[in-house]
């Protein structure tokens, strides 16, 4: 058996050496080293100004993400179903970051072999691999040591490429005001940075979109203008995409600490400030423990309605504010003519909604088939949020999350805004870590 393993690894190594594009392989780490450089270290965060909480102009990230012409691949590790196994799933993208279908041979090796490591190809069509470790404690950062190569065709073009690691390196810190979100193999498929708070206008006159706890959210920008404000922040910055929103959502919902009963599915998922008390949106607090407002915008540590908690915790420990309530938020997604259908007489509950060809329901809310912890009958009773769609041909710009007025829940979705007209809520910017 042991000899067979050795032979298998040798075969994979030969395949790799035959097809790999080694310069691209070393590109991964250079890329992240470069990203780590500016606006991300704790030193930078200290220098960001203690007296003035706004981000200074010279803190604007100046590094440029390398452009990769043609096609590339991003690989992520999946949460293991068994403690000593990790699966790695790769997706192929065009340089415009559009997902594309790759047809060909995927091969994988472990860069720094360890005793008893085995990289098994589960599906060479989709680029899915599995590693088995006798000792689960060896699993940490395994993705960094895996190199996967691809030779085949994408859109009928011959392609040879290696993978980008979709996980940020250990110790990576996002720019001031942003938090790191673990990518999800079913959605964003790579780690990314996102504003910790709803975007705030820089009243000092720069017109920049800032992520600070102070001030009320910047509202009433159209989706088009929100997109421009985010892109003006620098290379890689953009209005949050729906798949990034979903990556946050499935991560938050999978954490017991975000449920009022402190167990997944027990009680309610924190619904944010959405009870009309007060009946307007509020600034956040620099103290993550003060996640409640009542009567006015004074930040409080508790509330009779425990589900009104505004601060959600991600699996990496990062805290993100107001994703479920306060102001609904524009995301970079439009579906005007083929909307999913909500049963409005049922309050837009997800279990009675139906997806469309363009927007399957799973793009708005997870299901059991996708995430084993999910229960498909969950609805507003669990405060997961609700769906609002108008007739086709009207609006179509997607907003997510509830507002101080109601519809609380981080999976709340509405397709009613016109892309170029002022949206009723605010917005949030995100940043790609990889091209």
Give contact residues for Ca ion (rule: CB under 5 A): 275, 277, 294, 308, 322, 326-327, 329, 401
| Alpha-carbon span 432 to 168, nearest angstrom | 10
The tokens for 26 are 């070393």
Q: Minimum distance from CB of 271 to Ca ion (Å)?
A: 10
Nearer to Ca ion, 244 or 275 (CB): 275
* CA atoms within 13 Å, Cβ hemisphere of 158: 1
Q: Minimum distance from CB of 235 to Ca ion (Å)?
A: 26
Nearer to Ca ion, 288 or 294 (CB): 294
Nearer to Ca ion, 166 or 401 (CB): 401
Nearer to Ca ion, 71 or 292 (CB): 292
Nearer to Ca ion, 167 or 227 (CB): 227
The tokens for 327 are 């102001």
Nearer to Ca ion, 128 or 404 (CB): 404
Q: Minimum distance from CB of 240 to Ca ion (Å)?
A: 11
| Alpha-carbon span 209 to 228, nearest angstrom | 10
Q: Minimum distance from CB of 287 to Ca ion (Å)?
A: 17
Which conformational region is residue 290 in: left (phi greater than 0), alpha (psi within -120 to 50 degrees), or beta? beta
Question: How many CB atoms are located within 10 Å of the residue 220 CB?
Answer: 14
Q: Minimum distance from CB of 72 to Ca ion (Å)?
A: 33
| DSSP state for residue 66 in the 8-state scheme | P
Pick from 191, 214, 195: nearest CA to 204: 214
Q: Minimum distance from CB of 113 to Ca ion (Å)?
A: 47
Tell me if 344 sits within 8 A of 273, measured CB to CB: no
Assess whether the previous peptide bond of 278 is cis (omega < 30° from 0).
Answer: yes
Question: CA torsion sign, 355 to 308 to 264 to 199?
Answer: positive
Nearer to Ca ion, 117 or 328 (CB): 328
Tell me if 414 sits within 8 A of 342, measured CB to CB: no
Q: Minimum distance from CB of 279 to Ca ion (Å)?
A: 10
CA angle, residues 407, 250, 236, in degrees to nearest 5: 95
Q: Minimum distance from CB of 402 to Ca ion (Å)?
A: 7
Tell me if 173 sits within 8 A of 42, measured CB to CB: yes
Nearer to Ca ion, 215 or 327 (CB): 327
Q: Helical H runs in 161-278?
A: 223-231, 242-253
| Alpha-carbon span 351 to 365, nearest angstrom | 10
Tell me if 130 sits within 8 A of 88, measured CB to CB: yes
C-alpha distances (whole Å) from 309 to each of 2, 77, 257, 265, 284 are 53, 31, 11, 16, 11
Nearer to Ca ion, 153 or 298 (CB): 298
Tell me if 233 sits within 8 A of 302, measured CB to CB: no
Q: Minimum distance from CB of 233 to Ca ion (Å)?
A: 19
Q: Minimum distance from CB of 52 to Ca ion (Å)?
A: 25
| Alpha carbon of residue 249 to chain centroid | 8
| Alpha-carbon span 435 to 310, nearest angstrom | 32
Nearer to Ca ion, 285 or 326 (CB): 326
Nearer to Ca ion, 106 or 197 (CB): 197
| Alpha-carbon span 311 to 198, nearest angstrom | 12
Q: Minimum distance from CB of 325 to Ca ion (Å)?
A: 6
């Amino acid at each position: 058996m042991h000899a067979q393993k050795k032979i298998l690894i040798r075969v994979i190594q030969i395949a790799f050496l035959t097809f790999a594009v080694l310069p691209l392989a070393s590109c991964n780490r250079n890329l992240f080293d470069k990203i780590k450089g500016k606006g991300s270290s704790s030193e930078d965060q200290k220098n960001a100004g203690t007296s003035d909480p706004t981000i200074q102009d010279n803190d604007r990230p100046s590094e440029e993400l390398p452009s990769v012409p043609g096609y590339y691949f991003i690989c992520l590790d999946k949460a293991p179903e068994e403690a000593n196994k990790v699966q790695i799933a790769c997706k192929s993208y065009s340089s415009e970051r559009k997902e594309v279908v790759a047809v060909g041979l995927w091969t994988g090796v472990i860069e720094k072999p360890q005793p008893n490591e085995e990289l098994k190809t589960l599906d060479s069509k989709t680029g899915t691999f599995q590693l088995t470790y006798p000792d689960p404690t060896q699993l940490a950062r395994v993705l960094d040591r895996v190199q996967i190569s691809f030779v085949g065709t994408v859109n009928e073009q011959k392609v040879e490429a290696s993978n980008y690691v979709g996980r940020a390196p250990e110790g990576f810190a996002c720019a001031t005001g942003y938090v790191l979100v673990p990518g999800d193999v079913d959605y964003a498929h790579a780690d990314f940075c996102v504003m910790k708070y709803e975007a705030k206008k820089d009243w000092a006159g720069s017109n920049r979109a800032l992520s600070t706890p102070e001030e009320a959210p910047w509202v009433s920008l159209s989706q088009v203008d929100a997109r421009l404000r985010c892109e003006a922040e620098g290379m890689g910055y953009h209005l949050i995409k729906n798949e990034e929103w979903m990556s946050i959502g499935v991560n938050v919902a999978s954490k017991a600490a975000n449920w009022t009963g402190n167990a997944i599915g027990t009680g309610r998922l924190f619904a944010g400030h959405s009870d009309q008390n007060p009946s307007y949106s509020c600034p956040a607090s620099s103290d993550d423990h003060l996640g409640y407002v009542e009567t006015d915008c004074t930040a409080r540590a508790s509330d009779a309605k425990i589900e009104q908690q505004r601060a959600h915790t991600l699996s990496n420990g990062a805290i993100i504010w107001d994703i479920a309530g306060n102001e609904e938020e524009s995301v970079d997604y439009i579906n005007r003519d083929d909307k999913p259908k909500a049963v409005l007489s049922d309050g837009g509950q997800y279990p009675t909604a139906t997806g469309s060809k363009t927007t399957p329901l799973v793009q708005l809310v997870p299901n059991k088939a996708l995430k084993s912890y999910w229960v498909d009958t969950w609805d507003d009773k669990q405060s997961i949020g609700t769906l609002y769609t108008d007739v086709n041909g009207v609006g179509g710009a997607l907003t997510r999350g509830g507002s101080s007025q109601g519809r609380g829940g981080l999976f709340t979705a509405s397709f009613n805004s016109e892309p170029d007209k002022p949206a009723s809520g605010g917005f949030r910017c995100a940043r790609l870590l990889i091209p």
